[in-house]
């Protein structure tokens, strides 16, 4: 089964600790994974950031919320125990405990208001971003942040693509050159600019260096098109690789590739296709045509620091 949302872990976590024993988080993780019949693949699923597993993140936030509500305590580092309030909560909610159920406790309400900047914690439309894959209530705070970050980047990518499609041929050539150089290809901006030339069909083409010494060369075509690119264009491009004695090819378009074009490129094997969406993402990743508006640092406890004190 898929990893449950963090609220689904709340009552099972309380029930696990209802015997009054203090358990380590390692023991908690093992018990909950077994209770929910999670597979190795489920446990290996990572957050979009790639820095923590989805399972450990959601169990961690279930624990945090329950501690903030005073229903669990953490008597030792990386350990947890139930409180009398937690036992009472188990009796009151025999099926499920949610974050909304914790709002009855002043400590948790204060925590939620501080986390959302004073916004009512049950006002999900204001406090939490929307996600097409999961309801906001099912996401941990870190997942909500990642979801919002992805939405902002998707909107930014759409704006970048619209800008790229509206460039003049000369401007588009400079854009392609700067993206390639930012990615580490083509040497300097001057070298890459000299290697590429306008093709006469709203695009650029030419040979660029794959490495600083120019030991391997890549043939590139970049088309400022709006129409879908089909298989014939890819086959023609493949023939150009042989003519230019290039071992690899990169075909960039501001539009899209048909399924047939992608299959043709896969069969040929040495051609990389970059559509408009991918081009915009590369611009974001490598900082071309964008600027940083805000920077948010997400910090966590440095356990090693406290162990060395």
pLDDT of residue 121: 43
Model confidence over 248-286: pLDDT tens digits?
889 999 999 999 999 999 999 899 999 999 999 999 999
Q: Please say if the pLDDT value at position 204 is more than 70.
A: no
Percent of the chain past pLDDT 90, that is, above it, reads 43
Convert the chain into a string of H (helix), E (strand) and C (coil).
Answer: CCCCCCCCCHHHHHHHCCCCCCEEHHHHHHHHHHHCCCCHHHHHCECCCCCCEHHHHHHHHHHHHHHHCCCEECCCCCEEEECHHHHHHHHHCCCCCCCHHHHHCHHHHHHHHHHCCCCCCCCHHHHCCCCCCCCHHHCCHHHHHHHHHHHHHHHHHHHHHHHHHCCCHHHHHHHHHHHHHHCCCCCCHHHHHHHEEECCCCEEEEEEECCCCCCCEEEEEEECCCCCECHHHHHHHHHHHHHCCCCEEEEEECCCECHHHHHHHHHHCCEEEECHHHHHHHHHHCCCCCCCCCCCCCCCCCHHHHHHC
Residue 77 has pLDDT above 90, yes or no: no
Least trusted range by pLDDT, from 80-89, 211-220, 259-268: 211-220
Residue 128 β-bridge partners = none
pLDDT band at 300 (very low <50, low <70, confident <90, very high): confident
What average pLDDT score do residues 112-132 get?
47
Return the structure tokens found at 258.
């048909």
pLDDT above 60: residue 198: no
pLDDT of residue 127: 34
All domains of the chain in start order, with CATH? 10-127 (no CATH), 163-285 (3.40.1340.10)
Q: Does pLDDT of 81 surpass 90? A: yes
* Position with higher pLDDT, 266 vs 133: 266
Q: Are strands 203-209 and 196-198 parallel, antiparallel or unpaired?
A: antiparallel
- Give the pTM: 0.62
Which of 12-16, 116-120, 251-255 is predicted least confidently? 116-120
Find the mean pLDDT for residues 54-66: 92
What's the rounded mean pLDDT across residues 148-154? 82
């Amino acid at each position: 089964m898929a990893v449950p949302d963090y609220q689904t872990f709340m009552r099972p976590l309380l029930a696990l600790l209802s015997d009054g024993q203090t358990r380590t988080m390692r023991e908690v993780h093992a018990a909950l994974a077994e209770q929910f019949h999670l597979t190795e693949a489920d446990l290996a699923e990572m957050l979009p950031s790639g820095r923590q597993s989805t399972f450990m993140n959601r169990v961690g936030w279930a624990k945090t919320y329950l501690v903030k509500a005073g229903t669990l305590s953490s008597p030792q580092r990386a350990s947890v125990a139930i409180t009398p309030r937690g036992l009472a909560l188990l009796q009151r909610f025999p099926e499920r405990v949610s974050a909304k159920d914790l709002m009855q406790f002043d400590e948790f309400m204060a925590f939620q208001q501080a986390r959302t900047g004073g916004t009512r914690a049950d006002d999900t439309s204001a406090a939490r971003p929307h996600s097409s894959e999961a309801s906001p209530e099912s996401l941990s705070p870190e997942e909500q942040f990642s979801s919002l970050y992805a939405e902002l980047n998707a909107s930014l990518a759409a704006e970048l693509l619209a800008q790229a499609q509206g460039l003049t041929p000369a401007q588009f050539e400079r854009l392609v050159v700067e993206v390639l150089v930012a990615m580490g290809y083509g040497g300097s901006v001057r070298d890459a600019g000299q290697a590429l030339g306008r093709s006469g069909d709203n695009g650029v083409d030419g040979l660029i260096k794959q490495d600083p010494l120019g030991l391997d060369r890549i043939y590139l075509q970049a088309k400022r098109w709006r129409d879908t690119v089909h298989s014939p264009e890819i086959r023609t491009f493949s023939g150009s690789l042989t003519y230019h004695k290039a071992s690899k090819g990169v075909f960039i378009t501001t539009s899209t590739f048909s399924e047939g074009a992608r299959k043709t490129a896969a069969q040929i094997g040495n051609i990389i296709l970059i559509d408009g969406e991918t081009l915009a993402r590369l611009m974001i990743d490598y900082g071309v045509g964008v600027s940083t508006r805000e920077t948010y640092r997400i910090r966590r406890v440095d356990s090693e620091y406290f162990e060395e004190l």
